Amino acid sequence: MVAQIDKEYLSYGLARSARRIASYGLYEGRPLTTKGRFINPMVFAWLNTLAAAPGAPKVDRPIFITGLGRSGTTILGILLSLHGEVGYLNEPKALWHVIDPRQDINGNYSPCGAHFRLGAGDVTPEIITRAHRLFARYLGFTAANRVVDKYPELIFRVDYVRAIFPDAKFIFITRSGADAVPSVVQWSQRLGVKSGEDVDDWWGRNDIKWHYLREQLLLGNPEYASVWSLATGDLDHMNRAALEWVVTMREGLEQERRHPDAVVRVAYEALLADPVGELLRLQQQCGLSPDPAVTDYAKKRLYDNPAKGWPVLLPAVDALFRETMLMLGYEAGGDVS
């Protein structure tokens, strides 16, 4: 589906579909594992023009969907994209690369020098100006009032984003690791691409994302000392995915504790069980008036996948994994307690 638009989505009107296609074609860029990367030079020319054009527009209360991919981030973004006030960007890493190339942990556009974590001290006046120009002009182009940006890794950059957008809201979505972790592994199996000596998959180009994760988030952090010796460059994908899930979920819980007014948590399982109630709550907490199109589409699109079963993990990884499941309120079987 182009821009995640299906026939049901089209039934909500041309304006919503046109807004989504413009977001997809002009602002998001095409990452390494996708087709159509030939458009990237044109996308960057457009984005650089928007960032350089004089002016000081401001963005009102942007909303960022964060957490771990394969946890409902995409479908939640698509649901919110049907809100009449919202312009939705699905991982607009080209746009963010123009704002600050240090965020490119997958190596989509930069081969080195990226950071999982960025803090308020990493923000410069130039970054603030570029970010507001790009997002505000995106909203103007798409005739939207509020931006929703799905970018899961921003959970590691909450203070950084708040230094740019002080009134930002962060939706932190969780999913049982027993379902999310195998889904990550399957993603690489389905969508990974080999080109010559390069392999592009969930872990970026030639495992660059995994190297950033292990060096910047795991090694040296006493909380994960039990897996330091295991977090090697050739660790298998299931254990890598489990560790990424662990560090991401714990980071989200910490950010929710530190910023209770800015971080809104939702469980994917709760979204499936009560889509109307959870979507109304999210819209309210993010300062959006309820839009019936959002909940109506949710009733048609949301469905539960069969449980994937407990992943087979190394003992030390499994211990962290189980502990994190309990921290989130899940049981070993993956149910929310």
pLDDT digit string, tens, across residues 67-89: 999 999 999 999 999 999 999 99
pLDDT at 308 (0 to 100):
79
Cβ neighbours, 10 Å, residue 7? 7
Rounded Cα–Cα distance for residues 214 and 169 (Å):
28
- Greater confidence (266 vs 3) lies with 266
What percent of the chain lies above the pLDDT cut of 90?
95
The region that residue 68 occupies, defined by phi over 0 for left and psi between -120 and 50 for alpha, beta otherwise, is beta
pTM: 0.96
pLDDT digits (tens, 9 = 90+) for 241-267: 999 999 999 999 999 999 999 999 999
pLDDT greater than 80 at residue 337: no
Q: For residue 32, give the nearest of 156, 239, 242, 206 by alpha carbon.
A: 206
As for how many domains the chain has, the answer is 1
Let me know if residue 333 belongs to a domain.
no
Mean pLDDT of the chain: 96
pLDDT at 63 (0 to 100):
99
Burial 105-118 (b: 16+ CB within 10 A, else e): bbbbbeeeebbbeb
Let me know if residue 84 belongs to a domain.
yes
pLDDT digits (tens, 9 = 90+) for 315-328: 999 999 999 999 99
Let me know if residue 69 belongs to a domain.
yes
Query: Which tokens in the block code for residue 155?
Result: 């959970």
pLDDT at 333 (0 to 100):
53
Instruction: Let me know the angle formed at the C-alpha of 58 by 56 and 63, rounded to the nearest 5 degrees.
Output: 150
Rounded Cα–Cα distance for residues 2 and 6 (Å):
8
Q: For residue 325, give the nearest of 214, 223, 250, 221 by alpha carbon.
A: 250
Let me know if residue 336 belongs to a domain.
no
pLDDT at 1 (0 to 100):
72
The dihedral through the CA atoms of 254, 260, 264, 265 has a sign that is positive
pLDDT greater than 80 at residue 307: no
- DSSP code per residue over 245-260: HHHHHHHHHHHHHH-T
Chain centroid to CA 283: 18
Let me know if residue 25 belongs to a domain.
yes
Q: Which of 59-63, 221-225, 332-336 has the lowest mean pLDDT?
A: 332-336
The domain that holds 109 is classified in CATH as 3.40.50
Query: Which tokens in the block code for residue 306?
Result: 């069969």
Residue given tokens 């993990």 in the structure block: 313
pLDDT digits (tens, 9 = 90+) for 99-131: 999 999 999 999 999 999 999 999 999 999 999
Q: What DSSP designation does 306 have? A: P
The dihedral through the CA atoms of 305, 306, 307, 313 has a sign that is negative
Give the range of the structural domain holding residue 191, as residue numbers without chain letter: 2-328
Task: Work out the average pLDDT over 27-41.
Answer: 96
Let me know if residue 92 belongs to a domain.
yes
Rounded Cα–Cα distance for residues 83 and 283 (Å):
9
Cβ within 8 Å of residue 221, ≥6 positions away: none
pLDDT band at 334 (very low <50, low <70, confident <90, very high): very low
Let me know if residue 335 belongs to a domain.
no
Let me know if residue 219 belongs to a domain.
yes
pLDDT at 332 (0 to 100):
67
